[in-house]
Structure 1
Amino acid sequence: MEWTIRRYKDPDKETVLSLYSQVTHEHIWPSFKEAMSSPLYLCFSLGLGITGYLLASGLGALVLVSGWAGLVYYCSHKLYADYAKDSLKTDMQDIQASYMAQPDDCFWVAETVATGKVAGMVAVVAKTNGTMRYSELFRMIVSPATRQKGLGSRMVQTVLDFCKQRGMSKVTLVTSASQTAAIALYRKMGFKLVLSHTKTHLVVCRLKVILKIHLIHK
Protein backbone atom coordinates (compact mmCIF):
# COMPACT_ATOMS: atom_id res chain seq x y z
CA MET A 1 0.00 0.00 0.00
CA GLU A 2 1.32 3.43 -0.98
CA TRP A 3 0.54 6.81 0.53
CA THR A 4 1.15 10.44 -0.23
CA ILE A 5 1.87 12.60 2.82
CA ARG A 6 1.01 16.21 2.15
CA ARG A 7 0.00 19.38 3.94
CA TYR A 8 -3.57 19.69 5.10
CA LYS A 9 -6.06 21.54 2.88
CA ASP A 10 -9.47 22.92 3.85
CA PRO A 11 -11.40 20.36 1.72
CA ASP A 12 -9.89 17.63 3.96
CA LYS A 13 -11.66 18.97 7.04
CA GLU A 14 -14.77 16.76 7.15
CA THR A 15 -12.82 13.55 6.58
CA VAL A 16 -10.06 14.53 9.02
CA LEU A 17 -12.52 15.37 11.81
CA SER A 18 -14.47 12.15 11.28
CA LEU A 19 -11.31 10.01 11.42
CA TYR A 20 -10.03 11.90 14.46
CA SER A 21 -13.28 11.32 16.36
CA GLN A 22 -13.41 7.64 15.40
CA VAL A 23 -9.87 6.84 16.51
CA THR A 24 -10.09 8.90 19.71
CA HIS A 25 -13.14 6.89 20.78
CA GLU A 26 -11.13 3.69 20.23
CA HIS A 27 -9.10 4.53 23.33
CA ILE A 28 -12.09 4.02 25.65
CA TRP A 29 -11.76 0.25 26.05
CA PRO A 30 -7.94 0.21 26.55
CA SER A 31 -8.32 3.01 29.10
CA PHE A 32 -10.97 1.00 30.95
CA LYS A 33 -8.77 -2.11 31.02
CA GLU A 34 -5.75 -0.05 32.16
CA ALA A 35 -7.79 1.40 35.03
CA MET A 36 -9.35 -1.88 36.17
CA SER A 37 -6.00 -3.68 36.18
CA SER A 38 -4.28 -1.07 38.37
CA PRO A 39 -3.46 -2.21 41.94
CA LEU A 40 -5.75 0.43 43.47
CA TYR A 41 -8.77 -0.60 41.42
CA LEU A 42 -8.07 -4.31 41.87
CA CYS A 43 -8.01 -3.84 45.64
CA PHE A 44 -11.21 -1.80 45.52
CA SER A 45 -12.92 -4.46 43.38
CA LEU A 46 -11.82 -7.15 45.79
CA GLY A 47 -13.12 -5.15 48.73
CA LEU A 48 -16.48 -4.65 47.04
CA GLY A 49 -16.68 -8.35 46.22
CA ILE A 50 -16.00 -9.36 49.83
CA THR A 51 -18.48 -6.80 51.14
CA GLY A 52 -21.16 -7.94 48.72
CA TYR A 53 -20.59 -11.58 49.57
CA LEU A 54 -20.87 -10.92 53.31
CA LEU A 55 -24.06 -8.90 52.86
CA ALA A 56 -25.88 -10.98 50.25
CA SER A 57 -23.72 -13.95 49.23
CA GLY A 58 -22.46 -14.38 45.66
CA LEU A 59 -25.20 -12.31 44.03
CA GLY A 60 -24.35 -9.31 46.18
CA ALA A 61 -20.69 -9.59 45.25
CA LEU A 62 -21.56 -9.79 41.55
CA VAL A 63 -23.85 -6.75 41.73
CA LEU A 64 -21.33 -4.54 43.54
CA VAL A 65 -18.35 -5.49 41.38
CA SER A 66 -20.39 -5.18 38.17
CA GLY A 67 -21.67 -1.80 39.25
CA TRP A 68 -18.13 -0.61 39.98
CA ALA A 69 -16.86 -1.86 36.62
CA GLY A 70 -19.78 -0.15 34.90
CA LEU A 71 -18.94 3.14 36.60
CA VAL A 72 -15.30 2.94 35.56
CA TYR A 73 -16.28 2.16 31.96
CA TYR A 74 -18.75 5.03 31.91
CA CYS A 75 -16.09 7.42 33.17
CA SER A 76 -13.50 6.15 30.67
CA HIS A 77 -16.05 6.66 27.91
CA LYS A 78 -16.94 10.13 29.11
CA LEU A 79 -13.28 11.11 29.44
CA TYR A 80 -12.44 10.33 25.82
CA ALA A 81 -15.81 11.41 24.43
CA ASP A 82 -15.46 14.78 26.14
CA TYR A 83 -11.84 15.07 25.01
CA ALA A 84 -12.83 14.44 21.38
CA LYS A 85 -15.76 16.83 21.64
CA ASP A 86 -13.62 19.61 23.13
CA SER A 87 -10.86 19.13 20.54
CA LEU A 88 -13.34 19.26 17.67
CA LYS A 89 -14.66 22.55 19.00
CA THR A 90 -11.24 24.14 19.58
CA ASP A 91 -7.97 23.43 17.72
CA MET A 92 -9.44 20.90 15.28
CA GLN A 93 -12.24 23.27 14.33
CA ASP A 94 -9.74 25.57 12.59
CA ILE A 95 -6.72 23.49 11.66
CA GLN A 96 -5.24 26.20 9.48
CA ALA A 97 -5.16 28.68 12.38
CA SER A 98 -4.13 26.14 15.02
CA TYR A 99 -1.41 24.26 13.17
CA MET A 100 -0.43 26.09 10.00
CA ALA A 101 -0.39 29.80 10.77
CA GLN A 102 3.28 29.81 11.79
CA PRO A 103 6.19 28.66 9.59
CA ASP A 104 7.48 26.21 12.21
CA ASP A 105 4.06 24.55 12.65
CA CYS A 106 2.43 22.09 10.28
CA PHE A 107 -0.43 19.62 9.86
CA TRP A 108 -0.12 16.73 7.40
CA VAL A 109 -2.57 14.20 6.04
CA ALA A 110 -1.67 10.83 4.54
CA GLU A 111 -3.61 9.92 1.40
CA THR A 112 -3.88 6.41 -0.01
CA VAL A 113 -2.60 6.61 -3.58
CA ALA A 114 -5.02 4.03 -4.98
CA THR A 115 -8.21 5.54 -3.53
CA GLY A 116 -7.34 9.11 -2.55
CA LYS A 117 -8.80 8.52 0.92
CA VAL A 118 -7.29 10.11 4.02
CA ALA A 119 -5.57 7.33 5.98
CA GLY A 120 -3.83 9.32 8.71
CA MET A 121 -2.80 12.68 10.09
CA VAL A 122 -0.18 14.26 12.30
CA ALA A 123 0.66 17.78 13.45
CA VAL A 124 3.61 19.59 14.98
CA VAL A 125 3.78 22.88 16.88
CA ALA A 126 6.89 24.90 17.69
CA LYS A 127 7.60 25.68 21.35
CA THR A 128 10.10 27.90 23.15
CA ASN A 129 11.75 27.33 26.51
CA GLY A 130 14.05 30.24 27.19
CA THR A 131 16.48 30.26 24.28
CA MET A 132 15.72 26.69 23.27
CA ARG A 133 13.36 26.05 20.37
CA TYR A 134 11.72 22.65 20.15
CA SER A 135 8.62 21.03 18.66
CA GLU A 136 5.74 19.01 20.06
CA LEU A 137 3.99 16.32 18.04
CA PHE A 138 0.17 16.33 18.17
CA ARG A 139 -2.86 14.59 16.66
CA MET A 140 -1.08 11.46 15.44
CA ILE A 141 -3.83 9.32 13.93
CA VAL A 142 -3.66 6.23 11.70
CA SER A 143 -6.87 4.73 10.33
CA PRO A 144 -7.62 1.15 11.47
CA ALA A 145 -7.40 -0.19 7.90
CA THR A 146 -3.80 1.01 7.42
CA ARG A 147 -2.18 0.08 10.72
CA GLN A 148 0.86 -2.19 10.93
CA LYS A 149 1.79 -1.29 7.36
CA GLY A 150 4.41 1.38 7.91
CA LEU A 151 2.29 4.52 7.59
CA GLY A 152 2.81 5.54 11.22
CA SER A 153 6.59 5.40 10.81
CA ARG A 154 6.45 7.47 7.66
CA MET A 155 4.35 10.17 9.31
CA VAL A 156 6.62 10.36 12.36
CA GLN A 157 9.65 10.58 10.08
CA THR A 158 7.95 13.40 8.17
CA VAL A 159 7.65 15.31 11.45
CA LEU A 160 11.27 14.63 12.43
CA ASP A 161 12.59 15.73 9.04
CA PHE A 162 10.52 18.92 9.15
CA CYS A 163 11.73 19.78 12.65
CA LYS A 164 15.34 19.10 11.71
CA GLN A 165 15.03 21.44 8.72
CA ARG A 166 13.59 24.10 11.03
CA GLY A 167 16.53 23.79 13.41
CA MET A 168 14.58 22.45 16.38
CA SER A 169 16.60 20.99 19.24
CA LYS A 170 14.15 18.18 20.01
CA VAL A 171 10.67 16.80 19.42
CA THR A 172 8.42 15.87 22.33
CA LEU A 173 5.03 14.22 22.66
CA VAL A 174 2.61 13.05 25.32
CA THR A 175 0.54 9.89 25.02
CA SER A 176 -1.47 7.65 27.33
CA ALA A 177 -0.03 4.46 28.76
CA SER A 178 -2.87 2.42 27.29
CA GLN A 179 -1.67 3.21 23.75
CA THR A 180 0.97 0.49 23.75
CA ALA A 181 1.22 0.19 19.96
CA ALA A 182 1.83 3.92 19.59
CA ILE A 183 4.46 3.89 22.34
CA ALA A 184 6.26 0.99 20.64
CA LEU A 185 6.24 2.94 17.36
CA TYR A 186 7.63 6.09 18.96
CA ARG A 187 10.39 4.17 20.68
CA LYS A 188 11.24 2.43 17.41
CA MET A 189 11.57 5.88 15.83
CA GLY A 190 14.07 6.97 18.49
CA PHE A 191 11.91 8.58 21.17
CA LYS A 192 12.95 8.03 24.79
CA LEU A 193 10.75 7.91 27.87
CA VAL A 194 11.50 10.93 30.05
CA LEU A 195 8.51 11.11 32.41
CA SER A 196 5.55 9.00 33.38
CA HIS A 197 2.79 9.88 35.79
CA THR A 198 -0.66 8.72 36.86
CA LYS A 199 -3.41 10.99 38.10
CA THR A 200 -6.67 9.59 39.37
CA HIS A 201 -9.45 11.51 41.05
CA LEU A 202 -13.16 11.15 41.77
CA VAL A 203 -15.35 14.22 41.51
CA VAL A 204 -19.12 13.81 41.96
CA CYS A 205 -19.16 10.30 40.51
CA ARG A 206 -16.99 11.31 37.57
CA LEU A 207 -13.83 9.26 37.75
CA LYS A 208 -10.99 10.47 35.58
CA VAL A 209 -8.07 8.17 34.96
CA ILE A 210 -5.14 9.85 33.27
CA LEU A 211 -2.08 7.78 32.43
CA LYS A 212 0.49 9.79 30.51
CA ILE A 213 3.87 8.99 29.09
CA HIS A 214 6.20 11.75 27.92
CA LEU A 215 8.68 10.90 25.21
CA ILE A 216 11.44 12.95 23.62
CA HIS A 217 13.50 12.69 20.43
CA LYS A 218 16.79 14.56 20.13
Structure 2
Amino acid sequence: MAPYSIWKYQEQDREAVMDMFIKGTLSHIPSGFFHVLKQPRSMLILLGGPGALLLGSGSLLLSLLAFPGLLAFLWMAARYPFHWYVDNALRTDLTDIKKSYLSDKGSCFWVVESEGQVMGMVCARPEQQASRRQKCLELLHLSVRPEYRGLGIGKSLT
Protein backbone atom coordinates (compact mmCIF):
# COMPACT_ATOMS: atom_id res chain seq x y z
CA MET A 1 0.00 0.00 0.00
CA ALA A 2 1.21 3.47 -0.86
CA PRO A 3 1.83 5.93 1.99
CA TYR A 4 -1.10 8.10 2.92
CA SER A 5 -1.49 11.54 4.43
CA ILE A 6 -4.07 13.06 6.76
CA TRP A 7 -5.17 16.68 6.47
CA LYS A 8 -8.03 19.00 7.32
CA TYR A 9 -11.04 18.89 5.02
CA GLN A 10 -10.98 21.20 2.03
CA GLU A 11 -13.94 22.06 -0.18
CA GLN A 12 -12.47 20.17 -3.17
CA ASP A 13 -12.75 16.95 -1.09
CA ARG A 14 -16.54 17.30 -0.74
CA GLU A 15 -17.68 15.01 -3.57
CA ALA A 16 -15.28 12.21 -2.66
CA VAL A 17 -16.11 12.53 1.05
CA MET A 18 -19.88 12.41 0.45
CA ASP A 19 -19.56 9.42 -1.89
CA MET A 20 -17.36 7.56 0.59
CA PHE A 21 -19.63 8.36 3.53
CA ILE A 22 -22.79 7.20 1.77
CA LYS A 23 -21.33 4.05 0.21
CA GLY A 24 -19.31 3.19 3.31
CA THR A 25 -22.29 3.47 5.64
CA LEU A 26 -24.67 1.60 3.36
CA SER A 27 -22.11 -1.19 2.85
CA HIS A 28 -22.91 -2.32 6.41
CA ILE A 29 -26.52 -3.21 5.54
CA PRO A 30 -25.88 -6.90 4.66
CA SER A 31 -24.05 -7.57 7.92
CA GLY A 32 -26.81 -5.75 9.80
CA PHE A 33 -29.40 -7.92 8.03
CA PHE A 34 -27.62 -11.14 9.00
CA HIS A 35 -27.38 -9.87 12.56
CA VAL A 36 -31.14 -9.26 12.58
CA LEU A 37 -31.74 -12.76 11.20
CA LYS A 38 -29.83 -14.31 14.11
CA GLN A 39 -32.02 -12.67 16.73
CA PRO A 40 -34.55 -14.92 18.51
CA ARG A 41 -37.42 -12.55 17.69
CA SER A 42 -36.60 -12.80 13.97
CA MET A 43 -36.44 -16.58 14.15
CA LEU A 44 -39.82 -16.61 15.81
CA ILE A 45 -41.28 -14.39 13.09
CA LEU A 46 -39.71 -16.38 10.23
CA LEU A 47 -40.73 -19.78 11.56
CA GLY A 48 -43.81 -18.97 13.62
CA GLY A 49 -45.51 -16.75 11.04
CA PRO A 50 -45.70 -19.32 8.23
CA GLY A 51 -46.42 -22.06 10.78
CA ALA A 52 -49.34 -20.11 12.20
CA LEU A 53 -50.62 -19.46 8.67
CA LEU A 54 -50.40 -23.16 7.87
CA LEU A 55 -52.31 -24.10 11.01
CA GLY A 56 -54.86 -21.32 10.65
CA SER A 57 -55.59 -21.53 6.94
CA GLY A 58 -54.50 -25.07 6.12
CA SER A 59 -52.80 -23.74 2.97
CA LEU A 60 -49.24 -24.87 2.43
CA LEU A 61 -48.87 -22.49 -0.52
CA LEU A 62 -49.86 -19.48 1.57
CA SER A 63 -47.40 -20.38 4.32
CA LEU A 64 -44.59 -20.95 1.76
CA LEU A 65 -45.28 -17.57 0.16
CA ALA A 66 -45.27 -15.88 3.56
CA PHE A 67 -41.63 -16.83 4.19
CA PRO A 68 -40.08 -14.67 1.38
CA GLY A 69 -42.47 -11.87 2.34
CA LEU A 70 -41.24 -11.96 5.90
CA LEU A 71 -37.62 -12.06 4.70
CA ALA A 72 -38.28 -8.95 2.60
CA PHE A 73 -39.84 -7.26 5.64
CA LEU A 74 -36.77 -8.06 7.77
CA TRP A 75 -34.46 -6.78 4.99
CA MET A 76 -36.34 -3.48 4.94
CA ALA A 77 -36.24 -3.31 8.73
CA ALA A 78 -32.46 -3.87 8.70
CA ARG A 79 -31.92 -1.21 6.00
CA TYR A 80 -33.95 1.51 7.68
CA PRO A 81 -31.48 2.64 10.40
CA PHE A 82 -28.60 2.93 7.93
CA HIS A 83 -30.62 4.99 5.44
CA TRP A 84 -32.01 7.15 8.25
CA TYR A 85 -28.50 7.83 9.55
CA VAL A 86 -27.19 8.83 6.11
CA ASP A 87 -30.21 11.04 5.35
CA ASN A 88 -30.03 12.69 8.77
CA ALA A 89 -26.30 13.40 8.47
CA LEU A 90 -26.69 14.83 4.96
CA ARG A 91 -29.49 17.12 6.17
CA THR A 92 -27.70 18.33 9.31
CA ASP A 93 -23.96 18.53 9.95
CA LEU A 94 -22.68 17.31 6.55
CA THR A 95 -24.71 19.96 4.69
CA ASP A 96 -22.08 22.55 5.54
CA ILE A 97 -18.93 20.84 6.81
CA LYS A 98 -16.97 24.06 7.23
CA LYS A 99 -19.68 25.56 9.44
CA SER A 100 -20.22 22.36 11.44
CA TYR A 101 -16.62 21.28 12.04
CA LEU A 102 -14.09 23.87 10.91
CA SER A 103 -15.48 27.08 12.41
CA ASP A 104 -15.93 25.96 16.04
CA LYS A 105 -13.00 25.85 18.42
CA GLY A 106 -12.09 22.26 19.24
CA SER A 107 -13.85 20.79 16.18
CA CYS A 108 -12.19 19.39 13.10
CA PHE A 109 -12.76 17.21 10.03
CA TRP A 110 -9.87 15.11 8.75
CA VAL A 111 -9.48 13.36 5.41
CA VAL A 112 -7.04 10.57 4.50
CA GLU A 113 -5.61 10.57 0.98
CA SER A 114 -3.24 8.39 -0.97
CA GLU A 115 -2.25 8.83 -4.60
CA GLY A 116 -4.97 11.41 -5.17
CA GLN A 117 -7.83 9.29 -3.80
CA VAL A 118 -9.71 9.97 -0.58
CA MET A 119 -9.53 6.79 1.51
CA GLY A 120 -11.13 7.80 4.80
CA MET A 121 -12.51 10.55 7.00
CA VAL A 122 -13.46 11.42 10.55
CA CYS A 123 -15.07 14.41 12.25
CA ALA A 124 -14.47 15.47 15.82
CA ARG A 125 -16.09 18.01 18.11
CA PRO A 126 -16.28 18.63 21.85
CA GLU A 127 -18.97 16.49 23.42
CA GLN A 128 -21.99 18.58 24.30
CA GLN A 129 -23.06 16.48 27.30
CA ALA A 130 -19.66 16.56 29.05
CA SER A 131 -19.25 18.49 32.28
CA ARG A 132 -17.15 21.63 32.30
CA ARG A 133 -14.37 20.01 34.31
CA GLN A 134 -14.26 16.95 32.08
CA LYS A 135 -13.25 17.58 28.48
CA CYS A 136 -14.40 14.94 26.01
CA LEU A 137 -14.08 14.76 22.26
CA GLU A 138 -16.80 13.09 20.19
CA LEU A 139 -15.75 11.29 16.98
CA LEU A 140 -18.39 11.26 14.25
CA HIS A 141 -18.72 9.79 10.77
CA LEU A 142 -15.56 7.67 10.91
CA SER A 143 -15.49 6.01 7.51
CA VAL A 144 -12.88 4.18 5.45
CA ARG A 145 -13.45 2.98 1.89
CA PRO A 146 -14.20 -0.77 1.91
CA GLU A 147 -11.16 -1.62 -0.22
CA TYR A 148 -8.85 0.07 2.34
CA ARG A 149 -10.34 -1.40 5.51
CA GLY A 150 -8.09 -3.51 7.72
CA LEU A 151 -4.96 -1.49 6.91
CA GLY A 152 -4.95 0.64 10.06
CA ILE A 153 -6.34 3.80 8.46
CA GLY A 154 -9.22 4.05 10.94
CA LYS A 155 -6.76 3.62 13.78
CA SER A 156 -4.60 6.41 12.36
CA LEU A 157 -7.63 8.68 12.12
CA THR A 158 -8.61 8.08 15.73
TM-score, L = length of structure 1 = 0.65
Q: C-alpha separation between the residues in 1 aligned to 2:30 and 2:99? A: 32
- The residue number in structure 2 matching 1:137 is 139
The offset of 1:108, in angstroms, is 0.3
Paired amino acid for 2:152 = G
Aligned-partner Cα distance in 1 for 2:59–2:83? 36
2:120 is aligned to 120
Contact 1:52–1:63 (CA<8 Å) still a contact in 2?
Answer: no
Unaligned runs of 5+ in 2: none
Q: 1:106 aligns with which of 100, 105, 108?
A: 108
- Which amino acid is 1:11 matched to? Q
Structure 1 counterpart of 2:148: 146
Superposed CA RMSD: 1.6
Give 2:82's aligned residue.
Answer: 80
Q: State how 1:17-56 maps to structure 2 within 5 Å.
A: 17-54=18-55, 55-56=57-58
Report the AA paired with residue 110 of structure 1. V
Secondary structure of 2:95's partner?
helix
Select the structure that is richer in strand: 1
User: Secondary structure of 1:104's partner?
Assistant: coil
Q: One-letter code of the match for 2:44?
A: C
SS in 1 for 2:110: strand
Q: Aligned partners of 2:118, 2:58: CA distance in 1, in Å?
A: 54
Aligned residues: 154
SS of equivalent to 1:129: coil
Per residue, is there more helix in 1 or in 2?
Answer: 2
Q: 1:99 Cα deviation (Å)?
A: 1.4
- The structural deviation recorded for 1:136 is 1.0
Identity percentage of aligned residues: 28
> Is contact 1:52-1:60 (8 Å) kept?
yes
User: By how many angstroms is 1:130 displaced?
Assistant: 4.0
1:22 shift after superposition: 0.7
